[in-house]
Amino acid sequence: MTKLRAATTAQVMAVVKADGYGHGAVPCARAALEGGATWLGVCTLAEALELRAAGIEAPVLAWLIGPGQPLHQAIEADVDLSAAGVDQLAEIVTAATVVGEPARVHLKIDTGLHRNGATAQTWPALLEAAAKAEADGLIEVIGVWSHFVYADAPGHETIDQQLVAFGEALDVAESFGITPQLRHIANSAATLTRTDAHFDLVRPGIAVYGLSPIAGETFGLRPAMTAHARVLLTKQVGPDEGVSYGHTYQTRSDTTLALVPLGYADGVPRAASNVGPIAVNGKRYTIAGRVCMDQVMLDCGDDGVHPGDEAILFGPGDRGEPTATDWADAIGTINYEIVTRFGSGRVPRTFAGERHG
């Protein structure tokens, strides 16, 4: 957080969706707020209410709201809501009428991602409805916001194009009398590489957890999550023995096999079979054979690996262990997916430096 806080003069909304990218939403939210974030961002209403239930009072924006959700709970809990269309806004207005207080709304414009957000064609109708609801005291427009397609490829032409589209959307909003306190579009990559995209607030996610959104650059970030286990069992086997389901790995010589008790039920991708890296006693091995539901095997030669030795799947990298980014590269995904997979499984989490119990 310190690096992100120093990277901008805008407010920082720490994104803690998906259980804090697998790190634990509540402890990460608290740590981010201590580190200088003033806002929290989540995807679902349930995620926002989890933060409130934990006693977190900082402003929270929830941005993926489906039809028929209990929006009155959001308004009662002071959760900001995103609206991308007139129907969505109408639901928010109805809920605000029931609760008897204005809903806090961020209007989302689609500047090119073509995912969530109003198109340039539907934007004026959304603004008109929002201006009316605001005049009626049923909503307060807090923000106008958007999201990048390709901020992780600095210099990509879509970045400038989206900034132009965002500027136009803000101008149209102003013509409807809507001048939000918070204009926001920057994710981690744009926070780290495009100060001209910071506006009033930035929304970093992955970088909050010390992981870089951009291949080949670390920005001096230090990964927060370490995934590790203790070797549970070792055994000696001879050459040409198949290992794990389907025998997709064969030993080459007399060797020590080590069982690491983590599998795909714990977050280890099955796609890491025969490619995922794991460090034991400072040396890196590649998973031998298929990743099972609960365990993986390593072929440790005559390295003297023993039950109880620490096996590190990924961590900050200081002790020669792989990083989540190494794992992502090994199986053809992104570090986001690696850490998020370890979120809500059966692996116990401990929090270094935790001050809140």
Ligand X SMILES: *Cc1c(COP(=O)(O)O)cnc(C)c1O
User: Looking at the annotation, which residues are catalytic?
Assistant: 17, 245
Work out which of 45, 107, 206, 305 binds ligand X, going by CB under 6 A.
206
Q: C-beta of 187: minimal distance to ligand X in Å?
A: 4
Exposed e or buried b per residue across 217-251, where buried means at least 16 C-beta atoms within 10 angstroms of its C-beta: eebebebbbbbbbebeebeeeeeeeebbeeeebeb
| Contact with ligand X (CB under 6 A) among 205, 269, 276, 277 | 205
For the bound state, the minimum distance from the C-beta of residue 43 to ligand X, rounded and expressed in Å, comes to 7
Question: Which among 175-183, 197-205, 279-287, 298-306 is the span making contact with ligand X, rule CB under 6 A?
Answer: 197-205
One residue of 187, 193, 212, 255 binding ligand X per CB under 6 A: 187
- According to DSSP, the β-strands at 296-299 and 255-260 are antiparallel
Residue nearest to ligand X (CB): 205
x-marked contacts with ligand X along 60-79 as a string, rule CB under 6 A: ---x----------------
Q: How far is the CB of 316 from ligand X (least distance, A)?
A: 18
Q: Cα–Cα distance between 88 and 95 in angstroms, integer? A: 11
Q: Is 30 annotated as belonging to a binding site?
A: no
From residue 95 to residue 134, what is the string marking binding to ligand X with x (rule CB under 6 A)?
A: ----------------------------------------
Contact flag: residue 213 with ligand X (CB under 6 A): yes
User: Which of these segments, 44-52, 126-134, 204-212, 323-331, binds ligand X (CB under 6 A)?
Assistant: 204-212
Site for ligand X in 147-176 (CB under 6 A): 147
Please select the residue that binds ligand X; options are 203, 298, 299, 339, rule is CB under 6 A: 203
Spell out the SS3 assignment of the chain. CHHHHHCCCCEEEEECHHHHHCCCHHHHHHHHHHCCCCEEEECCHHHHHHHHHCCCCCCEEECCCCCCCCHHHHHHCCEEEEECCHHHHHHHHHHHHHHCCCEEEEEEECCCCCCCCECCCCHHHHHHHHHHHHHCCCEEEEEEECCCCCCCCCCCHHHHHHHHHHHHHHHHHHHCCCCCCEEEEECHHHHHHCHHHCCCEECCCHHHHCCCCCCCCCCCCCCCCCEEEECCEEEEECCCCEECHHHCEECCCCEEEEEECCCCCCCCCHHHCCCCEEEECCEEEEECCCCCCCCEEEECCCCCCCCCCEEEEECCCCCCCCCHHHHHHHHCCCHHHHHHHCCCCCCCCCCCCCCCC
| Of 148 and 314, CB closest to ligand X | 148
Closest CB 301 distance from ligand X, rounded Å: 39
Q: Which of 123, 122, 140, 133 is nearest to 175 (CA)?
A: 123
Closest CA to 60 of 33, 40, 36: 40
Shortest Cβ 336–ligand X spacing (Å): 6
15 scored as a contact of ligand X (CB under 6 A):
yes
Q: Is 115 annotated as a binding residue?
A: yes
335 binds ligand X (CB under 6 A): no
Q: Which is nearer to ligand X, 99 or 113 (CB)?
A: 113
Contact segment (CB under 6 A) with ligand X among 200-208, 243-251, 272-280, 324-332 equals 200-208
Q: Within 10 A of 57 (CB to CB), how many other CB atoms are there?
A: 9
Nearer to ligand X, 126 or 262 (CB): 126
- Judged by CB, which is closer to ligand X: 145, or 264? 145
Task: Tell me the number of residues near ligand X by CB under 6 A.
Answer: 12
- Minimum CB separation of residue 282 from ligand X in Å reads 31
315 part of the interface to ligand X, by CB under 6 A: no
- Residue numbers in the known binding site are 115, 293
Residues within the interface to ligand X (CB under 6 A): 15, 17, 63, 147, 187-188, 203-207, 213
Detail the residues annotated as belonging to a binding site for substrate. 115, 293
